């Protein structure tokens, strides 16, 4: 029992696709993971160091999946996770109840993805779309 849990943990650890950098290296427009949620940084302020303190970084970020806003203040030397994002092309096969069935243009795999509200009128059968794979979650981003 112990060995299966140990090997399962090691396998999951090796499959992680995150990069770790310090908070002061982030810039506006970059992607970051806070509390297991993926965000795009919309604004960033860096305060100066105090007499005995460290520089602080203040981030305002929007969620990649839900559009939620988050404000976070962290020390500049703190390490944060940056997700690796794969950008791919796919063709829309069918649309049912706000979900699109798409086929990847390179691997010919079929996926089912939610259609974002801003693209609901433009996504039609036979259209080629760009989707992002963010740590196993597929998101339709734009129409090509």
- Using the Cα atoms of residue 23, residue 27, residue 30 and residue 35 in order, give the sign of their dihedral: positive
The answer to whether residue 4 scores a pLDDT higher than 60 is: no
The whole-angstrom separation of Cα 138 and Cα 116 is: 12
Domain identity same for 95 and 78: no
φ and ψ at residue 66, rounded to 5 degrees:
-105, -10
Q: Per the structure, how many domains does the chain have? A: 2
Residue 12 binned pLDDT confidence (cut-offs 50, 70, 90): very low
- Rounded to 5 degrees, φ, ψ at 24 are -70, -15
Q: What is the pLDDT of residues 17-47, one digit of tens each?
A: 568 888 888 899 999 988 888 899 999 998 8
Do 60 and 93 belong together in one domain? no
Statement to judge: residues 77 and 92 lie in one domain: no
Instruction: Supply angle C-alpha 53, 56, 59, rounded to 5.
Output: 170
Q: Is the pTM of this model over 0.75?
A: no
Tell whether 94 is covered by a domain: yes
Cα 60 from Cα 63, distance rounded (Å): 10
In a domain, 137, yes or no: yes
* Same domain as 124, residue 139: yes
In this structure, the answer to whether residues 46 and 96 fall within a common structural domain is no
Structural domain range at position 58: 17-83
Q: Report the pLDDT value the prediction gives residue 17, as an integer from 0 to 100.
A: 57
- In this structure, what CATH number is given to the domain that contains residue 119? 2.40.50.140
Residues 75-90, mean pLDDT to the nearest whole number: 89
């Amino acid at each position: 029992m112990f060995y299966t849990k140990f090997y399962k943990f090691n396998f999951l650890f090796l499959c992680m696709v995150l990069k770790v950098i310090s908070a002061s290296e982030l810039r506006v427009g970059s992607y970051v993971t806070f509390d297991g949620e993926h965000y795009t940084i919309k604004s960033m302020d860096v305060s100066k160091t105090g007499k005995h303190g460290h520089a602080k970084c203040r981030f305002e970020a929007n969620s990649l999946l839900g559009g939620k806003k988050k404000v976070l203040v962290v020390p500049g030397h703190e390490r944060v996770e940056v997700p690796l994002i794969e950008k791919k092309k796919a063709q829309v096969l069918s649309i049912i109840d706000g979900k699109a069935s798409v086929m990847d243009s390179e691997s010919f795999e079929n996926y089912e993805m939610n259609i974002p509200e801003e693209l609901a009128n433009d996504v039609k059968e036979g259209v080629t779309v760009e989707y992002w794979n963010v740590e196993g979650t597929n998101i339709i981003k734009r129409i090509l």
